[in-house]
A and B are shown apart, each in its own frame.
Chain A
Amino acid sequence: MDRLSTATPHVPTTRALVRATAVALLIAGTILVTAVLPAEYGIDPLGTGKALGLSGMAAPAPEAAAVLPTGGRLTPVQEGPAALYPGPYKIDSRQFVLGPYEYVEYKYHLEKDASMVFSWMASADVIHDFHGDPDGQPSSAAQSYEKTTRRAADGSFTAPFSGIHGWYWENPGGDTITVKVTTAGFYTSAHEFHFDGTRQAREVRALDAIPASN
């Protein structure tokens, strides 16, 4: 008999398999905590995401940081019935054209308890979801404030948590619909998300964009 026919195949013992699986789980867990969580969700318990330059990947859009105004966060301080902010409020107005069955999301970054006022109007009924995404959380953590079909809304809003807050508008039919939104508030940036997966940071305007009347 030759050597090949008598060779016994090497079968790893259960103990060796358990050990190998445990070590693999440890490696996968390490990669999860040091790279995947910081890159995908902005969760960086060990600071490795920041050290490796991965933290920014979890941001809604690469351009997002570029539109943050100087002066940083607009966190309110409550003084009796008034809320005081470290900087002036911003203004913004956008118009979106939604082709058949298209949707867009438009959201502002607000600190917890920061406020804004808004008015939006569509040329026909749209599926609408006013919602917010907490900073550093996966999209599954989004909270819906109002979800219905409507043509317009006017209101004020105080952010229940720091994050991006705004609207999802969907064209439910085969005709083109226009949506126009106008806001003023203590937000620092605006973000536009399209149905085709593209996203864009939008610049919000400072108060000096409004000419003063005599």
Chain B
Amino acid sequence: MRTIRTMAIVAIVLGGALSLSAHEDFRVIGTISKQAGSAIDVKKREGTIVSIRIDKQTAISRDRKKVDAAALKVGETVVVDAYGDSEDDLLALEIRLVPPIGRGGQK
């Protein structure tokens, strides 16, 4: 019984690792409406709010220069490249802080 249980756990872990590669890329553009350390909420132009997780691998930049996660403040405009199964389950790979939309863009 223990052997079967061990086999099941290892199979589940391996299966979970394999399924990570099934994720797809998403870009979320909007303003930060909430900052909670390991996640940010981004309000998109159409008004919907997307919660995106952040980890140590998430690259954060402004004007192509790396900045600290502390720069992610409510009200900042961001372009987030993330991956996940859907917009309800996203991990940020890269976050760019950009000028507010409608007041000129970042080149």
Residues on A facing B (Cβ under 8 Å): 10, 12, 16-17, 19-21, 23-25, 27-28, 31-32, 36, 40, 99-103, 138, 171-175, 195-197
Contact = CB atoms under 8 A, between A and B. Distances in A.
A32 B86 contact: no
Interface stretch (B4-12, B53-61, B65-73): B4-12
Interface string B1-25: 0110011111100110011011011
Contacts of A27: 7, 11
A24 B11 contact: yes
A32 B19 CA distance: 10
Contacts of B6: 12, 17, 20-21, 24
B64 to A, nearest CB: 11
A27 B18 CA distance: 13
Interface residues of B, number: 35
A19 B10 CA distance: 12
Given A101-B29, A101-B79, A173 B106 contact: yes
Contacts of A196: 26-28, 87
Nearest to A11: B2
A46 B34 CA distance: 48
A72 B69 CA distance: 52
B105 A174 contact: yes
Contacts of B102: 100, 174
B24 A20 contact: no
Contacts of B87: 196-197
A28 B21 contact: no
A12 to B, nearest CB: 6
Kindly list the 3 A-B residue pairs having the minimum CB-CB distance in the complex, ordered from nearest: A173-B105, A174-B105, A24-B10
Contacts of B10: 20-21, 24-25, 28
A172 B3 contact: no
B21 A174 contact: no
A19 B105 contact: no
Interface string B83-104: 0001100000000101111111
